[in-house]
Chains A and B, each alone.
Chain A
Amino acid sequence: MIPVLLAAVAAAVVVLVLGRFDRNRALRRWDFVLSGRAETATEALRNRLAEDTEIATHTYDLALKRRASLSYDEAVRLLAIAADTIEEAAEDRQRRLRALSVYARMAEAIVPVAPVRPSQFKLAETRSLTRIAQWLHELLNSYQERFRFRLTVIGFGIRLVVRSIRGSRTRASIEPSHHEPYQTFGDSLHDFRALDDEQVESFRQLMRSAAAMERDSLPDGLRTLGNERPEIDPEKKSEK
Chain B
Amino acid sequence: MVKQGIYDSLLFGMSLELAIRTFAAFTGIARLARLFLGAAVALSTTAIFLATPPSPDYASFVRFQPGITAAGIWCLAFVGLLIVWYQIPVPAFTRAIILGYVPYLMVFTVYTDLITRLGWGAIQNLNLLNAVAYDAVAGYWVYSAWRKD
Interface set of A (CB-CB < 8 Å, partner B):
1-4, 6-8, 10-11, 13-15, 17-19, 21, 23, 26-27, 29-30, 102, 105-106, 108-109, 217-219, 221-222
Chain B residues with a Cβ closer than 8 Å to the other chain, count: 34
Contacts of A106 in B (CB 8 A): 86-87
A27/B89 in contact, CB under 8 A: yes
- The chain B residue sitting closest to A223, CB to CB, is B25
Within 8 Å of chain A (Cβ to Cβ): is B85? yes
Our pick among B25, B76, B98, B113 for the contact of A218 (Cβ within 8 Å) is B25
Q: Do A11 and B92 have beta carbons less than 8 Å apart?
A: no
| Chain B residues within an 8 Å CB radius of A17 | 80-81, 84
The number of A-B residue pairs with CB atoms under 8 Å apart is: 95
**B27 on interface, CB distance cutoff 8 Å:** yes
User: Which B residues fall within an 8 A CB radius of A?
Assistant: 25-28, 66-67, 69-70, 73-74, 76-77, 80-81, 83-90, 92, 95, 98-99, 102-103, 105-106, 109-110, 113, 149
**Taking A17-B80, A29-B87, A30-B87 as contacts, is the C-beta distance between A3 and B95 under 8 angstroms?**
no
In the complex, the chain A residue whose C-beta lies closest to that of B64 is: A3
For B26, give the chain A residue with the smallest CB separation: A108
Chain A contact surface mostly: helix
Q: How far is the CA of A3 from the CA of B105 in the complex (A)?
A: 11
Of A7, A13, A217, the residue contacting B81 (CB under 8 A) is A13
User: Among A2, A21, A222, which residue has its beta carbon within 8 angstroms of that of B83?
Assistant: A21
Residue from the set B80, B92, B149 with the largest chain A CB neighbour count within 10 Å: B80
Compute how far the CA of A222 lies from the CA of B84 in the bound complex, rounded to whole angstroms.
Answer: 16
Top 7 nearest A-B pairs (CB, nearest first) are A3-B66, A11-B106, A3-B70, A7-B109, A10-B77, A18-B80, A26-B89
